[in-house]
Amino acid sequence: MLAPSLLLLLASCQNGEAPPPAATSSGGGGDLAAVMAERGLTEDDVLAAAKTYAPSGKLDDYVIFASGGHGGNIIVIGVPSMRILKYISVFGPEPWQGYGYGGLSDDVLYTQGAQGGKEISWGDVHHPNLSETAGDYDGNFLFVNDKANARVAVVDLKDMMTKQIVANPLVMSDHGGAFVTPNTDYVVETSQYAAPLGNEYATIDKYQTDYRGAAVFWKFDKTKGRIDEAASWAVELPPYAQDLADAGKLGSDGFVYINSWDTEMSAGSEGKGKPFMESGASQNDMDYLHIIDWKKGEALVAAGKTKVIKGMRVIPLDVAAAEHVLTFVGEPKSPHGCDVTPDGSAVVVGGKLDTHTTLYDTAKMKDLIAKGQFTGKDPYGVDILDFQSAIRGQKEIGLGPLHTVYDDKGYAYTSVFLDSTVVKWNYKNLDEPTESLGVQYNIGHITAAEGDTVSPDGHYVVAMNKMSQDRFTNMGPLLPQNFQLIDTSGPTMKVIADMPIGLGEPHYAQMIKADKLHTITAYTPPGINPYTDQKSEFAVASGEERIVRNGKKVDVYMSVIRSHFTPDNIEVNQGDEVTIHLTSLEQALDQTHGFAVDMYNINVSMEPGKYEEITFKADRAGVFPFYCTEFCSALHLEMMGYLLVKPEGA
C-alpha cells in the first residue's frame, strides 16, 4: 500500500496536471507506479531512494573520509548519495594523482615514508581522524595511520593531498591512531604488536623483558600544518598488544585511553608447546584499559625525565608508572573499540568475545588516581584501578560488540561483529531497552555524522561491513566490502543505501558536514609548490621558459597551459641529470593537465596553478614523446612534446 503522499503524486501525474518537479515520472520508463511494479520496489525502497538520490548537480550534505585499509589510500564519499568523490593516495603510488611517479610527492612517499632506510610503497590505513578545534572538526587536516609500517600521514584538506608522512622510530606496527587531542595539539599513534623499541633485536623468550609497546604523541604545528618530529615524544608501554585508542574531551581532556588484548604476553608458539597467539591471548578474563595522563607526560618530558631512543624522547615505563602517567583498569574479554562519549564523561569499550559494552566513568577514574586508590600492580609496577569502582555500568549488546559512535540525542550505536547488527542504546540511561538493526554482513567499524566531536549531528550512521556475500553481482572470490547508510532520524533505524567498496578494506571513517571543508579550486598565484604553500623560486611566468645547461646538469623551466608545453622539445645527452620545473599557468576551475614522459616512469598531475618538479637521469637514449594525460581541451592530443636523449658517443 502506498503512502497517501505518494498516491497523491501518482494521481497528479495521471491526471495530466503539472506535478511538482520531484514527482516527474522517468520519461521513457513510464510513471512511478509502473516503474515500481516493473522493478519490484516497495514503498520503503522508494522512500529510501528519495532520501539518498542526488539529482545531477545536487550536492551532498556530508563527506566521509574512509580508510582504504591495505589499499593504502583514503576514500572520500558523499552522504547521503554514497557516491565516491575522490581517492586520496597516501601510502602507495597512484598514477592519476601523479603520486609517486617522479614528482615532488616522491619525497613524501619514498623519503619521508621510508622506514629504517627501507623504501615502502604500501600501507595499511586504519583510522582517519579529522583535525579538531575545541573538540569539533575544523575541516583543515586529516591524519591516518599505517598499521603495517608504523607511520602517520598528514593530509591537507584544502587540496586533499598527502603532505607529510612521519615514520615511527620506536615501534614496528601501530593501531591506535591517528587520534587527535581536542585542539589537535597532538596526533596520537599507539603500538599494536610488541617488539623491542627502536628496531633492536631480542629473541622471543625475552618477550617480557625486552619487547615493548609505546604511545607516541606527535606534536602538530597548526600554523605549518605539519607534525614537528623534534617536539614529539612517547610513553613506553608493556608488551600487551595495545589496540584502539581515543583522546578524552571536555572534562576528560588531558587523558588518552588505549585498550589492549594480550596481557597474557603470549608471543606465539614456534612448536614449543605454547598456544598460538589466538588462544594464548585469550586466557585472562581481564586485559587492561591504559589510562594515559598526557598533560603530566608533557610536563615530565619538559623536565627531562626521558630516555632517547632513535632520536625520540621516551618516558620510561617505570617513570610512567611511578608518576601515574600510565594507570590501568581491567577490561573484559578481548576488548576492541575505545570511544569517548561526546560529553567526555565516559569511555565505551567493546569486547570481541563478550556480549557487553563497558562504560568507564572518566571522572571516577581521575578521582581514584588522584586519591591513590589502587587494587594492585601489574608485573611492571603499573597501578591498577578497581574495575567496579571505575565503571558507570555495562550494557548487554549482543555477540561481539566492537566500535561505538554517538548522535545528538544521547544515543550510542555499537557495531556487533558476530551478530551482524548495529545496536542503538542510551548511554545516559542504561535501563532503556536497546534497538537492533541487521546489517549485511559482519560489521567492523561504524561512523556517525560529526560523531567523534563534542556535538554530533545525528541523522546518519554508516555501517562498515566486512562481508558483502549476496549483496552485489559476483566479482570473483575477492568481494567488495559493503557500506550501508542508516537513517537514524526516525523512530526506528533503517538501512537506506548499500555501497560496495571495491578498492581497499576500510576500517574506520569520519563524517564531516560538507560546508566545513575549505577546499581551493586553484593554486594562486600560479607556481605554488603544494608542499610548501609558497610560490616556488623556480616557477616561471609566460615568456620566462628556458633550458639551462650546466655540464651534465640540465634544468628545464617549463610552463603548462591549454594546449601546450613550453618548451616542447628538450634535447639532452645520455647520462645527463635532468630537472624539469613545471608551472601551470592556469587559474580556471577544473583546468588540470598532466605531464607524462613515455618510457621513463614519469607522470605528474598539473592542477591549475601548481608547481611540480621532476628530477631524473636520462639513462635511456632515444626519442621519447611527452604528453598531457588529461583531456583538457579540443587540442588536448596536440599538447605534447619530445624528450630527445642523444646516445653516448653519438
Strands 326-332 and 286-293: antiparallel
**Residue 630 near which of ligand K7E, ligand CUA, none (CB within 5-8 Å, type-dependent):** ligand CUA
Options 630, 642, 644, 646; binder of ligand CUA; rule CB under 6 A: 630
Q: Does 351 bind ligand K7E (CB under 6 A)?
A: no
Q: Does 70 bind ligand K7E (CB under 6 A)?
A: no
Using the minimum distance from each CB to ligand CUA, give the nearer residue, 263 or 583.
583
Kind and range of the H or E run holding 6: helix 4-14
Strands 226-237 and 312-315: parallel
Q: Does 313 bind ligand K7E (CB under 6 A)?
A: no
* 374 burial type by CB count under 10 A (0-12 exposed, 13-18 middle, 19+ buried): middle
The set of cell numbers assigned to 152 is 602517520
- Backbone phi, psi, residue 299, to 5°: -65, -40
Q: Please report how close the Cβ of residue 639 comes to ligand CUA at its closest, in angstroms.
A: 4
**Residue 593 near which of ligand K7E, ligand CUA, none (CB within 5-8 Å, type-dependent):** ligand CUA
Using the minimum distance from each CB to ligand K7E, give the nearer residue, 149 or 306.
149
Choose one: 75-83, 205-213, 237-245, 624-632; the region binding ligand CUA (CB under 6 A).
624-632
Using the minimum distance from each CB to ligand K7E, give the nearer residue, 151 or 593.
151
* 85 burial type by CB count under 10 A (0-12 exposed, 13-18 middle, 19+ buried): middle
**Shortest-Cβ-distance residue relative to ligand K7E:** 444
**Residue 628 near which of ligand K7E, ligand CUA, none (CB within 5-8 Å, type-dependent):** ligand CUA
- Of 243, 436, 448, 236, which is closest to residue 338 (Cα–Cα)? 243
Q: Which amino acid is at 571?
A: E
Q: Does 151 bind ligand K7E (CB under 6 A)?
A: no
Choose one: 23-31, 198-206, 340-348, 629-637; the region binding ligand CUA (CB under 6 A).
629-637
Residue numbers 235-294 binding ligand CUA by CB under 6 A: none
Residue numbers 553-612 binding ligand CUA by CB under 6 A: 563, 593
Using the minimum distance from each CB to ligand K7E, give the nearer residue, 354 or 607.
354
Q: Please report how close the Cβ of residue 519 comes to ligand K7E at its closest, in angstroms.
A: 27
Q: Please report how close the Cβ of residue 602 comes to ligand CUA at its closest, in angstroms.
A: 16
Options 636, 642, 644, 646; binder of ligand CUA; rule CB under 6 A: 636
3-state secondary structure labels for all residues of 209-226: HHCEEEEEEEEEECCCCE
Rg over CA atoms, the chain: 27
Measured on CA atoms in the order 406, 412, 416, 422, is the torsion positive or negative? negative
Residue numbers 240-279 binding ligand K7E by CB under 6 A: 244
Binding mask of the shown chain, residues 321 to 340, with x at each position contacting ligand K7E by CB under 6 A: ---------------x----
Q: Does 628 bind ligand CUA (CB under 6 A)?
A: yes
Q: Does 444 bind ligand K7E (CB under 6 A)?
A: yes
Query: Half-sphere exposure of residue 185, counting CA atoms within 13 Å on the CB side?
Result: 16
Using the minimum distance from each CB to ligand K7E, give the nearer residue, 361 or 505.
505
Bridge partners (DSSP) listed for residue 415: 422
The DSSP symbol for 58 reads: P
3-state secondary structure labels for all residues of 395-454: EECCCCEEEEEECCCCEEEEEECCCCEEEEEECCCCCCCCEEEECCCCEEEEEEECCCCC
**Residue 508 near which of ligand K7E, ligand CUA, none (CB within 5-8 Å, type-dependent):** ligand K7E
Options 296, 445, 459, 593; binder of ligand K7E; rule CB under 6 A: 445
- Site residue total, ligand CUA (CB under 6 A): 8
Q: Does 126 bind ligand K7E (CB under 6 A)?
A: yes
Q: Please report how close the Cβ of residue 626 comes to ligand CUA at its closest, in angstroms.
A: 11
- Of 98, 119, 249, which is closest to residue 601 (Cα–Cα)? 98
The set of cell numbers assigned to 310 is 632513535
**Residue 179 near which of ligand CUA, ligand K7E, none (CB within 5-8 Å, type-dependent):** none
Q: Please report how close the Cβ of residue 401 comes to ligand K7E at its closest, in angstroms.
A: 11
Length of the chain: 650
**Residue 636 near which of ligand K7E, ligand CUA, none (CB within 5-8 Å, type-dependent):** ligand CUA
**Residue 126 near which of ligand K7E, ligand CUA, none (CB within 5-8 Å, type-dependent):** ligand K7E
Q: Does 522 bind ligand CUA (CB under 6 A)?
A: no
CA dist 253 and 182 (Å) reads 7
CA dist 613 and 581 (Å) reads 5
For residue 649, the tally of other CB atoms under 10 A from its CB is 6
**CA distances to 29, 334, 403, 447, 505 from 485, in Å:** 27, 28, 16, 10, 17
**Residue 389 near which of ligand K7E, ligand CUA, none (CB within 5-8 Å, type-dependent):** none
Using the minimum distance from each CB to ligand K7E, give the nearer residue, 330 or 444.
444
Binding mask of the shown chain, residues 368 to 407, with x at each position contacting ligand K7E by CB under 6 A: ----------------------------------xx----
Options 87, 89, 127, 359; binder of ligand K7E; rule CB under 6 A: 127
Choose one: 120-128, 318-326, 577-585, 632-640; the region binding ligand CUA (CB under 6 A).
632-640
Q: Please report how close the Cβ of residue 611 comes to ligand CUA at its closest, in angstroms.
A: 16
CA dihedral 277, 279, 280, 286 (to 10 degrees): 120
Q: Do the Cβ atoms of 158 and 107 come closer than 8 Å?
A: no
Q: Which amino acid is at 140?
A: N
Angle between helices 32-39 and 4-14 (to 10 degrees): 120
Options 88, 449, 540, 632; binder of ligand CUA; rule CB under 6 A: 632
- Of 40, 2, 26, 51, which is closest to residue 497 (Cα–Cα)? 51
Options 46, 144, 180, 639; binder of ligand CUA; rule CB under 6 A: 639
Q: Does 229 bind ligand CUA (CB under 6 A)?
A: no
Q: Does 352 bind ligand K7E (CB under 6 A)?
A: no
CA dihedral 154, 157, 158, 164 (to 10 degrees): 10
Choose one: 61-69, 255-263, 471-479, 630-638; the region binding ligand CUA (CB under 6 A).
630-638
Q: Which residues lie below 8 Å from residue 548, measured CB to CB, with a gap of 6+?
A: 554, 555, 557
Q: Please report how close the Cβ of residue 608 comes to ligand CUA at its closest, in angstroms.
A: 11
CA dist 384 and 375 (Å) reads 6
Binding site for ligand CUA (CB under 6 A): 563, 593, 628, 630-632, 636, 639
Binding site for ligand K7E (CB under 6 A): 126-127, 175, 244, 336, 402-403, 444-445, 507-508
